[in-house]
Chains A and B, each alone.
Chain A
Amino acid sequence: MRSDPGLYGYNPWPGRPKVTWPNGARVAFWVAPNIEFYELAPPPNPSRTPWGRPIPDVVAYSHRDYGNRAGHWRMMEVMDKHGVRGSISLSIALCDHHPEIIEACAARNWEFFSHGIYNTRYCYGMDEAQERAIIQDSIDTVMRATGQRIDGWLAPALTHTERTMDLLADMGLAYTCDLFGDDQPQPVKVAKGRFVSVPYSLEMNDVIVYNSNNITPRRYADILKANFDRLYEEGAENGTVMCIPLHAFLVGQPHRIAGLDEALAYITAHKDVWVTTGREIARWYLDHHYDAAVAHIDAVEAKQARLRARLPNHRAGG
């Protein structure tokens, strides 16, 4: 095990090269609905038990199923109302289970990226061939179902291995949603190729908001607005990214949908907001800002190395 994931260098906010977005937008705003399939009786994984209660965990399973039967359609209608295209964090097997959802999203020109095969199959303990197999399955299945080649990844149930990012880049993906340390896209150090992280947020994620932080639906709208306000203000100096990750089984409930409606109305009423998708943010950043960021981060690291050299018993390479 490592003490540092080794995926990115320190890049303090002051002094960063300026990030600009299309048409002078201050904030790149994207919404990422997680469209997930959880299995009733998944196989065991040595590192994580899928359900809290003995199988069948009827409450936990049926709660997630609500999202696909009812919540998704309510959430999609609100997104349509505000002209927001979704970037779908997709349990890939859902293409087989519920093609009607895939068709409805594809017809809206929403983006699909992979969130693993099922949200009850974890990457913990996979060898390289197994991890490559689920990435390939993701690429092939989404291509077959939608004609899109996936560019992004959010690990199933946020389960990773040390080699995940290297494999994603090697197999031609462009971005990950798994790194939460920034308000801008960042270069990710991978064995081969150019690969970036796009800010996806756990702080704005409805699962965390509702189930971990016990926030009420209307208060969630206030938090989303406050998050947007500050990123919009700061985005005038250096472009920022705001993401709202959603789960229809939560936000698509009748008592919660009004809060989302309120927040999306507020955000999309602002000028200078680029309402976009994860792929478009990653592509723009790779095309316009990636090289400058890598050079800047290298320069920061060189400066830090000079400071570290003042330490007694300093070893080169620190």
Chain B
Amino acid sequence: MALPDDYLKYPMRRYGMDHDRYDWSILLRRKPVVWPGGARVALWVVPTLEFFPLDQPAKPFKAPGGMVTPYPDLRHYTLRDYGNRVGVWRVFQALDDLGLKASVAFNSKVAERYPLLLQAVVQRGWEVVAGGVDMGRLHFGGMDEAAERAQIAECLSVLRALSGQPVTGWLSPAKSQSERTPDLLAEAGVRYMCDWINDDMPFPFRTASGPLTAMPHTLELDDQTIIFGYKHSEEDFVEQVVDAFDTLYAEAETQGGRILCLSIHPWVSGQPHRIAALEAALAHIARHKGVWSATGSEILAEWERQQG
């Protein structure tokens, strides 16, 4: 049986994108951005603190890094919890040693379970980013609108109450969104989201509740992607971060300020045999002049100031 005739109809075949969420825009043709102090690269470090529940549901899919064996999977539960108990402190120390800032994405369950960890971030003057409720509570296509609104509210209310910060950045668990996630985020006072990976710079995103900005949070340069997903070595992770930084640093000379995002999972990078890789990558970046260590909100504010 042949495919239906509709299969060769292309209603969204037109100039620009096949949706109305954002405009088609070529990175190289935008107005260059100038970072404070004339810095070439804004370094945006995003440690992500996750709670993988022991009863993590399999539907609609399991967030990568989740439970594997039949219940109860103590093995993966504790391997991930290692990040919040031990690994994260090595990561924070590595940043402190170089005087670097972070925007720390929290599943709200992590903050609820370990408020001392949240306090350590707030006391450093770092930014708290909303990371969803936990790694079993995904946002996904076809999910119920009221359920999603409640899930977003739960995460934001917990993090705002415990941190005292406005909490205006958002990273969905597994970067997964429903059709409505951006609308519901803007409605809840979120100003930037970290799920889309189509740019090296921020770009404006339309929602039913007003404007939102997509920030260039990385998936490709993420420690979980490279070490846990691709199974590359620690040395290979450093090499890729260094190559990325060197490329952006060189391009910034002619193209305006760029952003290097490092997405760090303490259950990956905070292991004793891996932390030196993160330290080496950060040291390479930090020894360059013209690096601006900043939070997501600071980068967004500076970028917004220069638009229009």
Contacts and interface: CB of A to CB of B under 8 A. Distances in A.
A and B: interacting chains: yes
Interface of A: 37, 39-41, 43, 45-46, 52-59, 62-66, 68-70, 73-74, 93, 96-100, 117-118, 121, 125-127, 130, 133-134, 210, 214, 216-219, 253-259
B177 interface: yes
B8 A39 contact: no
A107 B242 CA distance: 33
A150 B197 CA distance: 32
A40 B19 contact: yes
B8 A214 contact: no
A96 B13 contact: yes
B24 A97 contact: yes
A62 B197 contact: yes
Contacts of A45: 3, 7
B140 interface: yes
B200 A70 contact: yes
A40 B18 contact: yes
Nearest to A258: B243
Contact of A73 (B13, B28, B221, B241): B28
A141 to B, nearest CB: 10
Interface stretch (B75-83, B99-107, B119-127, B228-236): B228-236
Contacts, number: 150
Which 3 pairs between the two chains have the least Cβ-Cβ distance? A54-B141, A255-B244, A65-B198
Contacts of A54: 60, 140-142
Given A58-B176, A100-B26, 13 more contacts: A37-B18, A43-B6, A53-B176, A56-B141, A56-B177, A62-B197, A66-B199, A73-B27, A125-B1, A254-B245, A255-B243, A255-B247, A256-B240
B220 interface: yes
Interface string B30-67: 00000000000000000000000000000011000000
B16 A97 contact: yes
Nearest to B142: A54
A117 B13 CA distance: 10
A130 B7 contact: yes
Nearest to B6: A43
A281 B8 CA distance: 32
5 contacts: A121-B7, A130-B2, A134-B8, A255-B220, A258-B246
B295 to A, nearest CB: 21
B56 to A, nearest CB: 16
Interface residues of B, number: 57
A254 B199 contact: no
A53 B176 CA distance: 8
Nearest to B237: A216
B71 interface: no
B175 interface: yes
B188 interface: no
Contact of B195 (A58, A130, A253): A58
B248 interface: yes
Nearest to B248: A254
Contacts of B230: 210, 214, 216
A41 B1 CA distance: 23
Contacts of B232: 214, 216
Contacts of B10: 93, 117-118
Contacts of B142: 54
A216 B197 contact: no
B93 interface: no
Interface string B9-27: 0101111111100001111
Nearest to B230: A214
B140 to A, nearest CB: 5
A204 B45 CA distance: 33
B59 to A, nearest CB: 10
Contacts of B175: 58-59
Given A59-B176, A125-B1, A70 B199 contact: yes
B220 A253 contact: yes
Interface in B220-267: 220-221, 229-232, 236, 239-241, 243-248, 251, 260
